[in-house]
Amino acid sequence: MKSARDYAVVNATLLTLAPFAQADGSMPADEAALGIIQNGTVVVRAGRIAAAGTHAECRAALLETKKASGDSFQEFDVQGAIVMPGMIDAHTHALFAGDRVQDFDDIAAGRKPRLGIAYTVEQTRRCTFSQLVAIGDGRLTSMADHGTTTAEVKTGYTLTTAGELDVLKAFAALDALPQVPHVVPTFCGAHALPPEFTDPDAFVDMLISETLPAVAATKIARFADAFCETGFFSVEQCRRFLRACADRGLKLRIHADELQHSGGSVLAAELYCASADHLNFADDRDIAGLVSAGTVAVLCPTTTEYLGLERYAPARELLTAGVPVALATDFNPGTSPCFSLQTVAHLARRRLRMTPTEAIAGVTAVPAASLGLKSEAGSIELSKRADLAVLQIRDYREFGYYYGVNLVSWVTVGT
């Protein structure tokens, strides 16, 4: 996985995504945006891309790297297979204890789930720090096996100051492990109301006065997030929390308009959030606001499918209006126990009516922009991390066509 070694991938069908990345996501949804290179080569030096292009274009860099590396250099012939940027999952809740199989049984039988987030909070609070790291290691490794090389991961399953700090420190420990994807930590303090609180306003007060200063002091979290939804946190409660987080230097994300039209998209535009996530019930006015704010839409169709919700996010309307669309698993125990962005891409193609190019960009270049990683990941370009996924396909249109299988033959994460 994370590797600073020198090597080359040759005889590849490269999807560089360079045109899409360089155009800030504004390119049309055709194959030109993918930057396809036949008989492509990627030369990697110290975990970074030293050259990418046709074999002839990369020959000098290849010979130079071979000479400098000596016997440690390896060359991998992928025999025409698709090589694309490592996938980037822009919305996950991957660190929790226990599962919610009982809730799945209830959903499948048409009953209201009986456990809910409260059960996950109870189980996660029981974990030691080492147990949290071990759980995260297992989950993130499974995501890597399916092609994910960077994952945004949210707190929000302890809902205490000490617990949120432990989870953030676990994120930092996980990011240092060689076998897991890069971790982008998000402080999702306003995720749910913990059992010891009955008043959401009082809990938000505690988050702002006690938890947030401690979180900011660790300098681990890059983003803050809030669940703006009826039954969770109101627009005003989310506004107070997210503004306080922004004042502490955190960039903003928000769960918006997932279960009904909650006003979260409007708040995302008001606060210039980096992303507005879910958006199943966003309308034309909401979309116009996101365009003006430059906010990325992060859509999670596996959640909609799992819960059997009545509406999927309006991906076509978002794209037509000019909102960049990223795709994410929303991996969590209660509404999307899915590790695979390949599955997400299938649903994006089938349910959201996205093109192959849009789906591929939605798991690479667009989430990179959403997470502030454009200079590091999301495309195969000079000096970026050597985050690569090799797929057992030769036609890019097969990405999202197959489902229920893992097309990734190997994946590598740069440094």
Going through 126-248 in order, the beta strands assigned E by DSSP cover 148-154, 182-190, 223-228
70: left (phi over 0), alpha (psi -120 to 50) or beta: left
Shared-domain flag, residues 93 and 70? no
pLDDT over 80 at 29, yes or no: no
Whether the Cβ atoms of residue 242 and residue 252 lie closer than 8 Å to each other:
yes
Could you write out the DSSP letters of every residue in 1-39?
Answer: -B----EEEEEEEEE--HHHHHTTT-S-SSGGGG-EEEE
Shared-domain flag, residues 82 and 92? no
Shared-domain flag, residues 121 and 237? yes
pLDDT category at 28 given cuts 50, 70, 90 is low
Instruction: Kindly state whether residue 371 falls inside one of the protein's structural domains.
Output: no
Q: Tell me: the pLDDT tens digits for 357-403?
A: 999 999 999 999 999 999 999 999 999 999 999 999 999 999 999 99
Q: What is the pLDDT of residue 4?
A: 87
User: Residue type for 107, please?
Assistant: I
pLDDT over 60 at 27, yes or no: no
Instruction: Kindly state whether residue 347 falls inside one of the protein's structural domains.
Output: no
DSSP strand pairing (148-154 vs 87-89):
parallel
pLDDT over 90 at 1, yes or no: no
Shared-domain flag, residues 126 and 59? no
Instruction: Kindly state whether residue 140 falls inside one of the protein's structural domains.
Output: yes
Cross-strand partners of 183? 151
State what percent of residues in the chain have pLDDT above 70: 99
DSSP strand pairing (251-256 vs 223-228):
parallel
**What tokens appear for 358 in the block?**
């849009």
Shared-domain flag, residues 102 and 39? no
Shared-domain flag, residues 134 and 59? no
pLDDT category at 404 given cuts 50, 70, 90 is very high
What CATH number is given to the structural domain containing 272? 3.20.20.140
Q: What is the pLDDT of residue 3?
A: 82
Shared-domain flag, residues 175 and 51? no
What CATH number is given to the structural domain containing 71? 2.30.40.10
Shared-domain flag, residues 270 and 399? no
The size of the chain, in residues, is: 415
Q: Tell me: the pLDDT tens digits for 129-185?
A: 999 999 999 999 999 999 999 999 999 999 999 999 999 999 999 999 998 999 999
Taking the C-alpha atoms of residue 389 and residue 335, their distance in angstroms, rounded to an integer, is 27
Shared-domain flag, residues 407 and 333? no
SS (H, E, C) 278-322: ECCCCCHHHHHHHHHHCCEEEECHHHHHHHCCCCCCCHHHHHHHC
Instruction: Name every residue whose Cβ is closer than 8 Å to that of residue 344 and which is 6 or more positions away in sequence.
Output: 300, 301, 302, 327, 328, 329, 338, 363
Question: How many CA atoms does the CB half-sphere of 89 hold within 13 Å?
Answer: 37
State what percent of residues in the chain have pLDDT above 90: 95
**What tokens appear for 90 in the block?**
């822009």
Taking the C-alpha atoms of residue 229 and residue 18, their distance in angstroms, rounded to an integer, is 37
Q: In the chain, how many domains are there?
A: 2
Could you write out the DSSP letters of every residue in 72-109?
Answer: G-EEEE-TT-EEEEPEEE--B----SS--HHHHHHHHT
Long-range contacts of 344-348 (CB under 8 A, 24+ apart): 344/300, 344/301, 344/302, 345/399, 345/400, 346/400, 346/401, 346/402, 346/403, 347/301, 347/302, 347/304, 347/305, 348/299, 348/301, 348/315, 348/400
Q: Tell me: the pLDDT tens digits for 120-134?
A: 999 999 999 999 999
**What range defines the domain where residue 51 resides?**
7-86+379-412
CB 98: neighbour CB atoms within 10 A? 17
Taking the C-alpha atoms of residue 389 and residue 84, their distance in angstroms, rounded to an integer, is 5
pLDDT category at 87 given cuts 50, 70, 90 is very high
Single out the residue of 378, 283, 263 nearest to residue 323, CA to CA: 283
pLDDT over 90 at 42, yes or no: yes
Shared-domain flag, residues 135 and 97? yes
Instruction: Kindly state whether residue 276 falls inside one of the protein's structural domains.
Output: yes
pLDDT over 80 at 268, yes or no: yes
Average confidence (pLDDT) over 194-212: 97
**What tokens appear for 183 in the block?**
């971790």
More confident residue, 30 or 114: 114
Shared-domain flag, residues 62 and 107? no
Q: Tell me: the pLDDT tens digits for 52-68?
A: 999 999 999 999 999 99
